[in-house]
Amino acid sequence: MERRTDSLQQRLLKSQQYVIYAASLTYVLFVLLVSLVNPASSGPQTFLLPRFGLALLLILTSLAVWAMPQSMRWIYLTAYLGCLLAVMTEIPRVLGADQSVLQLFLWQSVSVLISFLILGSRWGLGANVLTLLTILGSLMLRGPFSMAQLADWLTVCLTLTITTYVSYLVVTFIEGNLLTHEQDQGKLLAARQDALTMVYGRGAIEEELERAMSYSRQHNTPMSVIVTDIDHFKSVNDLYGHATGDDVLRAVAKRLRRAVGSSGGMVGRWGGEEFIVLLPGLAKPEALVIAERLRREISGQPLADLDITASFGVASYRGAYDTADQLFGRADQAMYEAKNLGRNAVR
């Protein structure tokens, strides 16, 4: 339709981008702060290398997502595999140095949530199961452990398992609601849209006309309408068939929509071969200019391989006591005047 807003999918994509940016920035700050608080000496400098490498990977991931947001899932999967390599490197170091697993556990918990948000329920579940298997495999290859280490790592694995399960349930529920919402939106759009021409249907454009007039009444702003009717359309149907007539209707609607969409105009099919164009914020002189441009758009090139013309009538909102019926009636009357004066004209 003519008035466009971001869809749920577009808003979700933006949210996913911001999550990746925020997580990457937070981890980079964490690495920098840790390196300042506990600078590497000649002994344990290797323990900082995986962190710096992972920080660099996350910076590159953010840049790649910024440059190619539509490929975000594959970019994230690539980064996720890099994170798994970092985990495999960190586990032997933590075990060998008998250090706390708290930092690794906390960041891995964040990773669980982000994976489900970016990848969805199925891919997110697969990625996190792979992470758990990687942790368990690294532990089994490294062993044996002290009892304290064993208790810590059992806690990590069990907590990550329940976090993964709960996240999976929540994301599955959200995805189900999103699907239901999209289906409802599709039904609503189908009810408001003319099935043949894909512009507003009669009922929907009447609602938009009332809404536009109400806005003009409250804010004392101009608005205009253009009523257009395809010339000799009955002859097109009689000579070439209704399929060709439908092609002409679709082509006319497309040109009208394309011509006024950038200026905030709305196009609706009033009935048969008659269309209405709403122009909120535009007075009659500007509307006449647009109507003439529309006339040239339609007559300038063949539509469905036929030379087609249309007649246009323009009317503008006159003030608080003007009604939608009166406004449309004036535009419709002007359109018939254009017909009577030879068609392919604007009045």
- Alpha-carbon distance 333 to 295, whole Å? 17
At residue 3 the predicted structure's pLDDT band, cuts being 50, 70 and 90, is very low
Q: Which two tokens stand for residue 62?
A: 């953010």
Neighbours of 274 (CB within 10 A): 17
- Alpha-carbon distance 288 to 313, whole Å? 9
Average pLDDT in the chain: 86
Phi/psi for 7 (5° steps) reads -75, 170
- Alpha-carbon distance 275 to 326, whole Å? 17
Task: Name the residue among 131, 128, 124 with its Cα closest to residue 175.
Answer: 124
Three-state DSSP at 282 gives coil
pLDDT value, residue 214: 93
Q: What is the residue-wise DSSP string for 27-91?
A: HHHHHHHHHHHS---TTGGGGTHHHHHHHHHHHHHHHHHHH-GGGHHHHHHHHHHHHHHHHHHHH
pLDDT value, residue 280: 94
Q: Which two tokens stand for residue 170?
A: 């929540």
Parallel, antiparallel or unpaired: strands 310-316 and 274-280: unpaired
Q: Which residues are catalytic?
A: 273
Check whether domain 202-340 has CATH 3.40.50.10470, yes or no: no
Q: Give me the residue label for tokens 């999550």.
A: 19
Convert the pLDDT of each residue in 215-263 to its tens digit. 999 999 999 999 999 999 999 999 999 999 999 999 999 999 998 987 7
Convert the pLDDT of each residue in 78-127 to its tens digit. 999 888 888 887 777 777 766 677 777 888 888 889 999 899 899 999 99
Q: Which residues, 6 or more positions from 5, have their beta carbon under 8 angstroms from its beta carbon?
A: none
Is the pLDDT reported for residue 183 higher than 80? no
Convert the pLDDT of each residue in 20-46 to its tens digit. 999 999 989 988 888 787 665 444 454
Sheet holding 223-230, edge to edge: 266-271, 274-280, 223-230, 310-316
Q: Which element (helix H / strand E) includes 149? A: helix 147-192
pLDDT value, residue 106: 84
* Spans of all domains in the chain: 8-188, 202-340
pTM score over 0.85: no
- Give me the sign of the Cα torsion angle 140, 142, 146, 149: negative
- Alpha-carbon distance 4 to 26, whole Å? 34
Convert the pLDDT of each residue in 127-160 to its tens digit. 989 988 888 888 887 766 677 777 888 888 898 8
pLDDT, mean of residues 8-25: 87
pLDDT value, residue 140: 80
- Alpha-carbon distance 50 to 89, whole Å? 7
Q: Which two tokens stand for residue 5?
A: 């807003």
